[in-house]
Chains A and B, each alone.
Chain A
Amino acid sequence: MPLYREFYFCGSDISALRTRDIDFLVSRNTKFDNKVDLPVLLEDLGFILDHSFPEGHVRLIHPELIIEFLVPEMGRGTSKPYPLPELGMNAQRLRFLDLLEGDTIIVEVSGLAVNLPHPVNFGLHKIMVSSRRTNVDKKAKDIQAGLEVLRLCVDNMDGQKLTESFRNISRKQRKRIIQSFEDNEAKDLLSVLKL
């Protein structure tokens, strides 16, 4: 989220609390030019492989960073990891990620060009996944993050973009988002959607 603050060139009061997770979204049709053994490459920095049980998702862990890969889940879904042999890793399949991969922005951080989902889509995605969460804390965290980013977008003249993105998602998801806005008394965001 601090990267979205960079994107809008503002010092908006977005939560300074950061977790160590960094998730890389990989499109299903990604073609890799080179094969890299990421766990071996990052071993020198002290990263180690962590396998989840029983699903078998892998992530690279370090006291300062936890790296994970995600792919959009399609169809009926499965808990099996999506293999990424070109990286020596696998990815976790998650719902609604297609919303994030279609429309991206580039933010430069410390000389690195970081490709990120458009903040409007990121915020909507957080709200959408929150409705599927069973863990109360994670649900609250997703809603808080989603609302904060969406408010940042609206404050920075991206209200129209919010309305457009909202119109492009399924009716079922739109209902979920409205419900979530209502439950969290986000009248300001409801008014942007003209609801």
Chain B
Amino acid sequence: MAIKGVLKEELENSIRMQGKYEEELEKLPVGSLIKKKIKGHEYYYIVMREKGKVKFVYKGKEVSDALLEEYARAKELRAKYRKLLSQVKKQIKFLKGALRGQESI
């Protein structure tokens, strides 16, 4: 009985965690900052997907260091959070299965 209780609690924690990681991912700036070279000149764009299409938003010939840093950090965190989110989803699947008695515990 205590085992089931622990698993239930862990499942609740994981479900909550999934929501929190999804929230954190939504908070990150959309798209990635890229530099394009056109006719020998460099221009910055935010590249993103909108309704299944790739969209480029022009940001100028130069951008602030803060913006560069913001997008670099967002890229790093996005990769990290997606990996952790996938781990949490696997945990949820396992815990749900275990509570239904489909996994050996």
Chain A residues close to B by CB (< 8 Å):
17, 19-20, 43, 46, 48, 50, 61-63, 66, 135-138, 140-141, 144
Contact = CB atoms under 8 A, between A and B. Distances in A.
A149 to B, nearest CB: 14
A48 B5 contact: no
Minimum-distance CB pairs A-B, first 6: A137-B5, A63-B87, A141-B2, A140-B2, A144-B2, A46-B84
A19 B84 contact: no
Given A48-B21, A137-B5, A140-B1, A63 B88 contact: yes
Contacts of A48: 20-21, 24, 81
Contacts of A19: 6, 9-10
B94 to A, nearest CB: 12
Interface of B: 1-6, 8-10, 13-14, 16-17, 20-21, 24, 77, 80-81, 83-84, 87-88, 91
Contacts of A144: 2
B6 to A, nearest CB: 6
A63 B84 contact: yes
30 contacts: A17-B6, A19-B6, A19-B9, A20-B13, A43-B77, A46-B80, A46-B81, A46-B83, A48-B21, A50-B16, A61-B16, A61-B17, A61-B20, A62-B84, A63-B14, A63-B17, A63-B84, A63-B87, A63-B88, A63-B91, A66-B13, A135-B5, A136-B5, A137-B1, A137-B6, A137-B8, A137-B9, A138-B5, A140-B1, A141-B5
A135 to B, nearest CB: 8
Nearest to B83: A46
A141 B9 CA distance: 11
Contacts of B20: 48, 50, 61
Contacts of B2: 137, 140-141, 144
Contacts of B88: 63
Contacts of B77: 43
A144 B2 CA distance: 8
Nearest to A63: B87
A62 B24 CA distance: 13
A61 B13 CA distance: 9
B66 to A, nearest CB: 17
A48 to B, nearest CB: 5
Contacts of A50: 16-17, 20
Nearest to B18: A63
Contacts of A17: 3, 6
A138 B8 CA distance: 10
A20 B17 CA distance: 12
Given A19-B6, A63-B88, A137-B2, 10 more contacts: A17-B6, A20-B10, A20-B13, A46-B80, A48-B81, A50-B16, A61-B20, A63-B84, A63-B87, A135-B5
